Amino acid sequence: MEKYLAIPDGYMTVGELAKRMGTTVRTLQYYDRENLLKPSAESEGGRRLYTDKDMIRLHQILSLKSLGFSLEDIKKRLLSLDTPEDVANALAGQAADIEKQIRVLSETLADIKALREEVLQMKTVDFKRYAAIITNLQMKNEQYHLIKYLDDKTLEHCSSALDRESAAEIIETYKRLSRQAVEYQTAGVKPNSEKGIRFAEEFWIMIEKFTGGDMSLLPKLMEVETLAHTEETKGAFDIQSRTNANQFIGESLEAYFGKRGIDPFGMNSDKGEKK
């Protein structure tokens, strides 16, 4: 590092750089110790001297730090600034990082607003239900708003029996089968046809995975699905499409149960009593 008796043109002290960039001398001293931003020169009296190039480097560092990157990550991301192309690439990288952060923040803001709307509709403070809504928002479950209708037993089952991976799989299966039900209904596929029976079998397997075999959860799930019709429709389907999907699902399941001899609620079909 060169040493100068006086501060030459084109150089600035650590205090001047800190003031121009809105940071502190202590921060710049820390970056120096961490080999993140070394001064380009030093005065005879030991004052650290920086150039405009150093200021551009500091801008990179501060931008990345504001996005939550650790110092180790920042060191790996810093590019050389020796040519116009180097500078352009560095700025392009900063822009991409900022755009990604904007997307993340936008999604987070949308989740917070959605949670606020659900909280306002609940009668009491219920952090378990809030947590379930947040989890489903993060999984992009478009039916997150129905969680407020679940009773404590069903909510407890969802929270304890289903991990994030299995819950996400069930959600994706439900969305896929819902779309398929609309397509079948539109195409005139009969619920009791071979296609309808295969569809119902896959749908029922999904239900069994969700309930863990506890069919006492079904009545509440059916009630929640009915309540969904009273709200403004959210997600990929409009009200008519949802109605068509539910009609096909219900009729195909009825045909499937009859063909397989399944009694989903554990009732004796002749006496109407539980077995």
Per-residue pLDDT tens digits for 111-161: 777 778 777 777 777 666 666 666 666 666 666 666 666 767 777 777 776
Q: Is residue 90 part of a domain?
A: no
Q: Is residue 246 part of a domain?
A: yes
**Which DSSP category does 87 fall into?**
H
Residue 48 is part of a domain; what is its CATH number?
Answer: 1.10.1660.10
Q: What is the pLDDT of residue 199?
A: 93
Beta strands at 48-50 and 267-268: parallel, antiparallel or unpaired: unpaired
The residue among 47 and 244 whose pLDDT is bigger is 47
Whole-prediction pTM: 0.46
> Domain range for residue 224?
162-274
Q: For the chain, give the longest Cα–Cα distance.
A: 104
Domain boundary among 78, 101, 119: 78
Distance CA 17, CA 52 (A): 9
Comparing CA positions, the residue from 1, 83, 97 lying closest to residue 42 is 1
Q: Is residue 195 very low, low, confident or very high in pLDDT (cuts 50, 70, 90)?
A: very high
The residue among 50 and 165 whose pLDDT is bigger is 50
Domain boundary among 19, 50, 78: 78
Q: Is residue 100 part of a domain?
A: no
Q: Is residue 192 very low, low, confident or very high in pLDDT (cuts 50, 70, 90)?
A: very high
Q: Is residue 209 part of a domain?
A: yes
Look-up: residue for tokens 């352009």? 88
Amino acid symbol at 138: Q
Q: Counting every residue, how long is the chain? A: 275
Q: Is residue 275 very low, low, confident or very high in pLDDT (cuts 50, 70, 90)?
A: very low
* For the chain, the helix, strand and coil percentages under 3-state DSSP, each to the nearest 5: 65, 5, 30
Q: Which helix (H) or strand (E) holds 187?
A: helix 164-187
Distance CA 56, CA 58 (A): 5
pLDDT of 225 above 70 = no
Q: Is residue 84 part of a domain?
A: no
Number of helices (H), then strands (E), belonging to the chain: the values are 11, 6
Domain boundary among 54, 78, 102: 78
Q: Is residue 206 part of a domain?
A: yes
Query: Torsion angle of alpha carbons 215, 216, 218, 220, nearest 10°?
Result: -170
The residue among 29 and 213 whose pLDDT is bigger is 29
Q: Is residue 225 part of a domain?
A: yes
As a whole number, mean pLDDT of residues 192-211 equals 90
Domains contained in the chain, number? 2
Distance CA 49, CA 12 (A): 5
Q: Is residue 137 part of a domain?
A: no
